[in-house]
Structure 1
Amino acid sequence: MSKEKRSVGWDDFTSALRNFHVVKVMGGQDIRMRYKRSRMGPFWITISMAVMITTMGLVFGNLFKTDVKEFLPYLTLGLITWSFIQSAISEGCDALISSEGIIKQLPVPLHVHVMRVIWKNFIIFLHNIVIFPLVMLAVQKSLSWTMFLAIPGFILLIVNLTWVLMILSMICARFRDMTQIVLSVMQVIFYLTPVIWMPKLLSHSAASALLTFNPLYHLIDLVRGPLLGETPMMSSYIIATVMAIIGLALSITMTTKYKYRVPYWV
């Protein structure tokens, strides 16, 4: 294998980063088209998210016999972060398929289409996260300086989402039924991940099994923990970093091997 061929995937990834302004334009255009002629725009998602958080907070708080002042901020960040991850993955599965016209006509890096999905959902995440300060105000809690640790945690989350979406988008472009399988698996993972329930509600052995081997728990905790005033475990940083390195290497390898087949798949 020649050096030029080996670098195809890496060149595709770095080219997408260098042309990130294209990603922002395309992602922003997706949001504008989705909410065309809507006065509230993506804030409709924020409103529906706020209603869901309030409803689930009251119901599950009583069901789990948990203090609402502790549970509501936890639930808020869990649902907002999970919504970001789930939407990115569900849309990312069809990232290449929905970009068929561009892929067949323009030499745009494949990673641009994946990053476009992540950027779009990142903007929606920013709309939704405004709910959190309001919840903290409602439960009479204040933010701490640990909230700045959420920044590196969120970066690790985005890096991991990038390689996951790149791999899934290529697999789903080749095998169309994989999209439905991924969506079904995500529904199962939602209940196995502490998004709407707190780890302390489980026995120690059950919690250890569900949390230690659940990569999404570590990624969510790196964002949620600091905003709740907690310092994430070092093991979560290590696991997320190792996943990012191995995952990027795998996705770049797959891009190198299959990039020029994608136009025939879509």
Structure 2
Amino acid sequence: MQATSTLEHPEAPPAISSRSFKRAFADVREAWDHRELWGHLGWQDIKQRYRRSVIGPLWITISMGTTALALGLLYSVLFDTNVPTFLPYVTVGFIVWNFILGCITEGTDVFIANEGLIKHLPAPITVHVMRMVWRQVLFLLHNLAVYAIVLAIFFPALSQQYTISDGGPVHPGLSWTIVLAIPGFVLLAVNAVWVALAFGVISTRFRDIPPVVTSFINLVFFMTPIVWDAGVLQKVTGGGSNDWRILIAELNPVYHFVEIVRAPLLGHAVDWHHWVVVGGFTVIGWALAMVILRNYRARVSYWV
């Protein structure tokens, strides 16, 4: 009789390569499942920053309000605009810009700054990005107090048809379209995550990227209609051969991201091409971020 072994070992599940889109998507999904972790860490970041401060995070609001008031009054004189409509324009522009600025500048440093946690905390690397974006969301919520104050003061001017500068476009005024600021900000936050993921991984490998981005972002600020009204470009072109000047704003992607939030909050006409541009950047940006996450996610812990 021939003895044969009939013991069968269960087959092990096939190993998944670390460089796979399945792992990349799993990293993002697991980071969302850890939202209690990054939500708590982001809140602690703010508490730690303003530890032993008398008024705490209200310093964010005071700084924001002072800057918006000073630049709003200055540029209203330089551009000969209406202060009751131009000051809210500058204020909301600054609120949105500070969120974008924080996500980009801190996004380039997000993995470098969390070197200790990355090496000792077994968590998806997207957790650190979510933490940073959530921290910026909390900053923005504090800054919205400035918008509420400005809205209360200048509501009569914003609740009817108005122009920011003489000869500029006529805006319909505040209406139910103000709720469109909510999906606009959601899109802004979703894009902030992929921007931080992409720039964070690249900056971890090439440490020259953060200072380059910091220098370049100052130029982007002055090229974006924040302290100047985009309607000025329409006024100076006059529909003639100088229409190329409008491209100064239209070719700037940051302008479209600012507008999908600012326009509803100020009662401007909702121009749907801004949403189309932002939607396109969302799809393309996340596709790029997933490729970067697929190829280099496992190397971040060695680069930091």
TM-score class, shorter-chain normalisation, is: over 0.9
Q: Is the 2:107–2:200 contact (alpha carbons within 8 Å) kept by the matching residues of 1?
A: yes
Report how far residue 23 of structure 1 moved.
Answer: 1.4
- Residues 144 and 227, structure 1, Cα contact 8 Å, conserved in 2: no
| Structure 2 residue 95 is matched with structure 1 residue 80 | yes
- Confirm whether residue 132 of structure 1 aligns to residue 128 of structure 2: no
Q: Which runs of 4+ in 1 moved over 6 A?
A: none
**Paired residues of 1:13 and 1:252 also in contact (CA < 8 A):** no
2:263 corresponds to which of 216, 225, 236: 225
Q: Does residue 1:239 correspond to 2:270, yes or no? A: no
**Once the two structures are superposed, what CA deviation does each residue of 1:104-158 show, in whole Å capped at 9, x if it has no partner?**
1122111111111111011010001111121122224344211100011111111
Deviation at 1:3, TM superposition (A): 6.5
Q: Which residue in the other structure is 2:289 paired with?
A: 251
CA RMSD of aligned residues (A): 1.4
Letter in 1 for 2:196: L
CA contact (8 A) 2:260 2:275 kept: yes
Partner of 1:147: 178
The residue type equivalent to 1:178 in the other structure is I
Given the alignment of the two structures, is residue 161 of structure 1 paired with residue 189 of structure 2, yes or no? no
- Listed as ranges, the gaps of 5+ residues in structure 1 are none
In 1, the alpha carbon distance for the partners of 2:276 and 2:230 equals 20
2-structure distance, mates of 1:6, 1:145: 41
Q: Pick one of 245, 251, 256 that aligns with 1:213.
A: 251
Structure 2, unmatched stretches of 5+, are: 1-14, 160-173, 238-242
- Tell me the distance in 1 between the aligned counterparts of 2:104 and 2:97: 10
- Aligned to 1:194, the other structure's residue is in SS state coil
Greater fraction of residues in helix: 1
Q: Which has the larger radius of gyration?
A: 2
* Alignment check: 8 A CA contact 2:178 2:265 kept: yes
Q: Which of 154, 164, 186 is the aligned partner of 2:217?
A: 186
Distance in 1 between residues matched to 2:249 and 2:30, nearest whole Å: 36
Whole-angstrom distance in 2 between the partners of 1:112 and 1:41: 26
Task: Choose 220-229 or 104-113, whichever is displaced more.
Answer: 104-113
**3-state SS, counterpart of residue 96 of structure 1:** helix
Q: Partners of 1:98 and 1:179 in 2: how far apart?
A: 12
Further displaced range: 35-44 or 197-206: 197-206
The count of residues paired between Structure 1 and Structure 2 equals 265
Residue 119 of structure 1: aligned partner: 134
- Given the alignment of the two structures, is residue 14 of structure 1 paired with residue 29 of structure 2, yes or no? yes
Residue equivalent to 2:3: none
